[in-house]
Amino acid sequence: MLLPALLSSCRPKKPGTRCSCLEQAAESNALAVVNWSMSTCGPCQRVKPAYEQMARSRPGTLFVVVDLQASVANANLVEEARTRAYPTFHLYRSMYRVHETVGSNMADLAD
């Protein structure tokens, strides 16, 4: 599955254009980790500090959080990504999903 073109933590420079950080990730074959979550989800909030620490410790990887409840655009992305449980983590390389981890077990994601 292709990485959705619009992500909440990656803002395009111009409206209607693609996020440059996603373009750079795709061109460099960098890994992108997407945390699909909800602000009212207890497990989502519990993994947030570990996810942020993971992002700080892996500077060559793009880490993004998409909160289903933050906007209609995010809700559409969640539907497009076929995310049904929260938190769900998708790993993308060259814009294609290469791995999925469902649930709050950060050890699964770290592997």
Set 10, 19, 21, 41: catalytic member: 41
Set 10, 19, 21, 44: catalytic member: 44
The H-or-E segment that residue 72 falls in is helix 72-81
Residue 35 has pLDDT above 70, yes or no: yes
pLDDT tens digits along 55-102: 888 888 888 888 888 888 778 888 888 888 999 998 888 778 889 999
What is the distance between the alpha carbons of residues 22 and 12, in angstroms, rounded to a whole number?
Answer: 9
> pTM for this one?
0.77
Active site residue 10: no
Active site residue 44: yes
CA atoms within 13 A on the CB side of 70: 15
Residue 17 has pLDDT above 60, yes or no: no
What is the distance between the alpha carbons of residues 102 and 83, in angstroms, rounded to a whole number?
Answer: 9
